[in-house]
Amino acid sequence: MQLKISSLSKTYPNGVQALKNVSLTISNGLFGLLGPNGAGKSSLMRTIATLQEAGSGSIFLDDLNVLEKKEDVRKILGYLPQEFGVYTNVSAEELLTHIAILKGISDSRQRSELVKSLLVQTNLYDARKKKLGGYSGGMKQRFGIAQALIGNPKIIIVDEPTAGLDPTERNRFLNLLSEISEQVIVILSTHIVEDVKELCSQMAIINKGEVLFAGHPMEAIKMVQGKIYTAFASKTEAKEIAAQYKVVSQKFNTGKIELHVWSDEKLNHTFTETETGLEDVYFSVINGLVKNSSEFSVYNS
């Protein structure tokens, strides 16, 4: 399947323009949508999920008009929002069964087999009788994916799914998404670059409602290779570097400030050329250091 978003815009009643002429084409597989908090990611996800109206533009899932045929879309959509509630005093098995009934799976044997299969797939079968209120954050997120998979959806949207998870649960959750995405479109909306780097074959960077880059993560990294340099400095030295160079990002590292800077020319011995990563691409784009120019190509299909 293919999801095609064309010239999508959305302005809220308070005047905030959440989406500005967004155009993207997304195929089967895991698609990473990167951007800082407030970039417009959730607005885009909610619009695709038919939870809010668009101001203008169009969204098609193959031939299905997402903005006009909302009920048809909901039949083939799985959605895990950034915050979702569960009934804390019921078990995972009970709630999945209830959701399956609501989704129209009336045959009890088919429903029982489906619930068991989803609990096994999300590694929750051994905890199926446990009350959801006693689940850890990672277990709740995996339960969220289980409920999103009811009805064999063709497109699954997950919004900031790994926020607050420990490293083990994060890896388990991302591996689960990767497995699911072999057959369907999975859109992973996040501000965590590492969530996208290893798993996604498609990605976009969005900020202030605009798509600034769309393409393959590895191609993005190649485009900035040889242009990012690293320096370790004191606070005073870091200020001096920031005054002279285009700083991509900075963070504390073993008592020093680690700065990544952008340069088209080879820098002196104070700097070392960096093995560029997706984080360098992300911050370069978000900070406006690279644009649609000869130094960096922005793909926006």
Query: Domain residue spans in the chain?
Result: 2-215, 221-286
- Structure confidence by residue, pLDDT tens digits, 76-108: 999 888 777 778 899 999 999 999 998 888 899
Q: Quick one: pLDDT at residue 9?
A: 97
| Cα 166 to the center of its chain, rounded Å | 18
- Structure confidence by residue, pLDDT tens digits, 259-275: 999 998 888 888 998 88
Q: 280: which residues sit within 8 A by CB, 6+ positions away?
A: 221, 224, 228, 248, 249, 260, 274
Q: Quick one: pLDDT at residue 77?
A: 93
| Cα 133 to the center of its chain, rounded Å | 26
C-alpha to C-alpha distance for 248 and 281, rounded to whole angstroms: 9
Q: Quick one: pLDDT at residue 291?
A: 59
Q: Quick one: pLDDT at residue 80?
A: 86
Q: With H, G, I as helix, E, B as strand and everything else as coil, classify residue 161.
A: coil
Q: What pTM was computed for the model?
A: 0.84
Q: Quick one: pLDDT at residue 290?
A: 67
Q: Where are the alpha helices (DSSP H) in 49-87?
A: 70-75
- Structure confidence by residue, pLDDT tens digits, 228-247: 999 999 999 999 999 999 99
Q: Quick one: pLDDT at residue 293?
A: 36
CA angle 191, 192, 197 (to 5 degrees): 120
Is the Cβ–Cβ distance between 229 and 219 less than 8 Å? Answer: no
Q: Quick one: pLDDT at residue 24?
A: 95
How many C-alpha atoms does 206 have within 13 Å on its Cβ side? 28
Q: For the chain, which ranges sit under pLDDT 70?
A: 290-301
What amino acid occupies position 83?
E
Select the CATH number that applies to the domain covering 2-215 from these four: 3.90.1010.10, 3.40.50.2000, 3.40.50.300, 3.30.590.10. Answer: 3.40.50.300
